[in-house]
A and B are shown apart, each in its own frame.
Chain A
Amino acid sequence: MNKLAVTLADQHVSLSLKNPVLTASGTFGYGLEFAPYGDLRKLGGLVVKGLSLVPRDGNPMPRIAETPSGLLNSVGLQNCGVEAFLRHKLPLLPSADVPIIANLYGASEEDFASLAGILGAEPAIAALEVNVSCPNVKQGGAAFGQDPFAAAAVTEAVRKNAGDKPVIVKLSPNVSDLAAIARVCEAAGATAISCINSLSAMAVDLAGRKPLLGNVLGGLSGPAVKPVALRCVWQVCRAVSIPVIGVGGISSAEDVLEFILVGATAVQIGTANILRPDSVFRIVQDLPAACEKYGVERWEDLRGKLAVD
């Protein structure tokens, strides 16, 4: 029996993962970019780059800036579009051995519904992750995730069209009440919640008196945001009964355990992949030793067991 296995499930659908470590969308390309650095089949799941109905060219350069312990980006969801992904990328991924999770981005509720219909019918896709939280696009994205009614409508539209695929809704920390948004997504049919997406942020060049990013604003990620992510995951776990996937600054097996301690069922590794392309593989490899070190026999021994007076 695999003691590292976890299940993402609601009353209707479920997804079994061989371990709780997934990749975070936007930091792992379409997966194949990382094949030289580790065995993709050993991952708990592979969440690919956000897909839109038609290809997107993304934001102008510069798109990245290094900040203290953080990475600021404004890529703007550049992607090859869902059709090209299904035709050229997906067949090359080891979908029989690792769950491939498609991340969806739409500028309207109709876009999300169409994407869910296309991806929901694809046998090699294990689950859908709905991106209602990208801070780097003007239309859609975070706008859906900041409005509870819109978040619910998008979740419902995807749920209706996704067939029997689990639906994960990825939420933004750039809201005043994340728990409330998570609750409406749960009620609208989400199988799981993933949080957090990057934090809306900026950096400036003092000498040049210019923003460091072409888009002015970007999303902050990396170790700098881990405490924010832990707080958000803890709050969301207390608000919903569906599984929560922790995302934000995770760069070691110990970090994984911390997120499970505050209630997460699984985690996603994001910026760490950009800092070193073998990061997610090393974290998976280190997980059994970290569990032993902290006396974790079963995930139930740790999950949500944070002692709060």
Chain B
Amino acid sequence: MAHPLLSRETVLDLVPFGDSSQAGRYALRLSLPKWEAWSPGQFVMIRPVEPAADVLLPRPFSICLVTRRDLVLFFQVAGRATAGMARLTPGSRVVIWGPLGSPLAVEPHVPTLLLAGGMGIVPFIGYVHQHPTPWELSMEFGHRLPLSCYPFDSVNEKILVDPHLEKTPSHRDAFLAFVDARIGEYAASGLILACGPAPFLRAVQTSALRHRARTQLCLETRMACGVGACLGCVVRAVVPQDPDIARPLRPDYPAPSALHVQTCTCGPSFWADSILF
């Protein structure tokens, strides 16, 4: 995997998604870092060159897409740091380091089901654009806001996506029941990748374990350093007896114990039967 790089990049533009009543989601286009390579599922840490006085830590964001001209991130305003990012203007400078973390599994000739909850759609944009056999992919997308609030079209232009609006708890329950059935369909010979908020991923994990389906979960976790040093983003992972080899396991490994491992360097994608969260 390519070494991460720290660089200063320039904001090319910031495009709001959704109408004014649903403001707060943006595509952020940056000048292209001189990365050797990147893989979908990886992320970057970002901080403005002059961050707001009340923001100290950098923030992690999934890589949405890298083109020959730019790096695209997609974020939702959720607090002070992202509110500050929403005030960036073309020409603003940011410090980013990446690409970081493990990529999502790519198995070209295996039917692959993508499960996205809300902002969990973001890493799948790069995934469907880079996948060598996109006809093997299909996606179920659960969302609470209108589709115009998400970069939905960027996925839908490459593969068939089935959107599920979740306005009420019964909608959500119906969506999760549907997801459970779809996981069952892929259990025998497929691959499943899921990204979204923790409650959604826990539901996917429960179904995946029940159906014994090979499933990766791409976690959204609060982080501080992003490079594996601070141990602030750990998750309990099943690891071999040697505690120094803190690497999550494939389903065919034995499961002797669980230890805290960093989401930023051992993840953010983990096999569903390798973590407790």
User: Cβ of B244: which chain A residues have Cβ within 8 Å of it?
Assistant: 55, 80-81, 84, 87-88
A27–B246 Cα distance when bound, in Å, is 19
User: Cβ of A26: which chain B residues have Cβ within 8 Å of it?
Assistant: 230
A277 proximal to B (CB < 8 A)? yes
A59–B242 Cα distance when bound, in Å, is 20
User: Cβ of A276: which chain B residues have Cβ within 8 Å of it?
Assistant: 6, 47, 58, 95, 97
Q: Per-residue CB proximity of B26-65 to A under 8 Å, as 1/0? A: 0000000000000000000001000001111110000000
Decide: A33 and B231 in contact? CB cutoff 8 A. Answer: no
B69 proximal to A (CB < 8 A)? no
B88 proximal to A (CB < 8 A)? no
Q: Which of B3, B58, B222, B232 contacts A275 (CB 8 A)?
A: B58
Q: Per-residue CB proximity of A29-41 to B under 8 Å, as 1/0? A: 1000110110000
A190 proximal to B (CB < 8 A)? no
Say yes or no: A27-B230 contact (C-beta < 8 A), given A37-B97, A222-B56: yes
A87 to chain B, nearest CB (A): 7
- Tell me the B217-251 residues at the A interface (CB within 8 Å): 222, 224-235, 242-244, 246
**B contacts with A: majority SS:** loop
User: Cβ of A241: which chain B residues have Cβ within 8 Å of it?
Assistant: none
Q: Which of B53, B222, B225, B243 contacts A277 (CB 8 A)?
A: B225
The residue on A at minimum CB distance from B81 is: A66
A29–B55 Cα distance when bound, in Å, is 23
A68 to chain B, nearest CB (A): 6
- Tell me the A47-64 residues at the B interface (CB within 8 Å): 55, 57-58, 61-64
B259 proximal to A (CB < 8 A)? yes
B5 proximal to A (CB < 8 A)? yes
User: Cβ of A223: which chain B residues have Cβ within 8 Å of it?
Assistant: 56
Decide: A66 and B56 in contact? CB cutoff 8 A. Answer: yes
B24 proximal to A (CB < 8 A)? no
A183 to chain B, nearest CB (A): 33
- Tell me the B55-90 residues at the A interface (CB within 8 Å): 55-58
A68–B5 Cα distance when bound, in Å, is 28
User: Cβ of B228: which chain A residues have Cβ within 8 Å of it?
Assistant: 29, 33
Decide: A73 and B232 in contact? CB cutoff 8 A. Answer: yes
A10 proximal to B (CB < 8 A)? no
B260 proximal to A (CB < 8 A)? yes
A34–B58 Cα distance when bound, in Å, is 16
B163 proximal to A (CB < 8 A)? no
Decide: B232 and A64 in contact? CB cutoff 8 A. Answer: yes
Decide: B229 and A57 in contact? CB cutoff 8 A. Answer: no
Interface centre among A33, A34, A223, A278, by most chain B C-beta atoms within 10 angstroms, is A33
Q: Which 10 interchain pairs have the tightest Cβ spacing?
A: A29-B229, A64-B232, A84-B244, A274-B225, A55-B243, A33-B229, A75-B231, A36-B3, A33-B228, A33-B227
Q: List 15 A-B contacts (CB under 8 A).
A: A29-B227, A29-B230, A64-B222, A66-B55, A68-B54, A71-B57, A71-B224, A73-B232, A75-B232, A81-B244, A273-B225, A275-B57, A277-B6, A277-B97, A278-B6
B interface list, Cβ under 8 A from A: 3-6, 47, 53-58, 95, 97, 222, 224-235, 242-244, 246, 259-260, 265
A interface list, Cβ under 8 A from B: 26-29, 33-34, 36-37, 55, 57-58, 61-64, 66, 68-71, 73, 75, 78, 80-81, 84, 87-88, 222-223, 273-278
